[in-house]
Amino acid sequence: MNILMCGDVVGRAGRDAIKAHLPQLKRDLAIDLAIVNGENAAHGFGINERLAGELYDAGADVLTTGNHVWDQRELIQQIERDPKLLRPANFPPGTPGSGHYLHEIGAKLSVLVINMMGRLFMDSLDDPFACLTALLRDYRMGDGATAIVLDFHGEATSEKMAMGHFADGRVSAVLGTHTHVPTADHQILPGGTAFVSDCGMCGDYDSVIGMQKEPSVRRFITKVPGEKAKPAEGEATLCGMFIQTDDTSGLALRIEPVRIGGRLSRAVPQL
């Protein structure tokens, strides 16, 4: 199977990049499943029902989130109605919504998408390693899911790398999100799991992690709180990862970066 993971969508610029490029990418790369992290889609803070609909219309099959999942309070009601819109699975029991979704592809193939959040320098949630262990008791590649993809939303590269090795051989891919900066460590781990520390963002890179650069720089210089951060509105780069998996084992065959539009160098895999 061919799977595309798009990193954090930041504001209108990020949404426009998804609308402009995702449909063509799905055609050119014969994508079976497109996952989009939409947690910064609503002016940089959270996502709402209307914007989720825009991303679905552009070709997203499953939406993941992270620490900004509840910034738009209306999402609390929507997430109960929409099984394809995920929040981190390691929120405590009783939290609205779900942290995983089994996406069916035709009659024989399926991908389990898991959303998880790290704990280093983040909100204190339940243990993501124990949470993944519990989920993998119910779903195994070849038995319950053809492939398994984990969006691990975290600040620390060390925690993300640890999760990659922890899950190696048991999931198809561990794909980091949250920092909005694409890393160059994409690889297939020894057990066959595709890994990258961070997919990057879908947003304007003439910015500070997607937000307007002047107020952000000023806050670092003066240490004085200023106006609420606003997304940069120039042309965005769609950043993500292309993963190809074996339909029998579920393990990864390829992982390559995707960057299209905006300021960053272009990278589009060739089939």
In the numeric block, which tokens belong to residue 100?
A: 């995983």
Q: Is 68 a catalytic residue?
A: yes
Distance of alpha carbon 149 from alpha carbon 21, whole angstroms: 22
Give residue for tokens 């394809």: 84
Distance CA 7, CA 199 (A): 5
Tokens of 32: 């079976």
C-alpha distances out from residue 136 to 62, 169, 236, 261, Å: 19, 12, 36, 37
Element (H, E) at 17: helix 11-28
Catalytic: which of 21, 68, 180, 186? 68
Helix (H, G, I), strand (E, B) or coil at 223: coil
Contact 153, 115 (CB under 8 A): yes
Beta pairing partners, 255: 243
Do the Cβ atoms of 193 and 170 come closer than 8 Å? yes
Note the residue count of the chain.
Answer: 271
| Residues designated as active site | 68
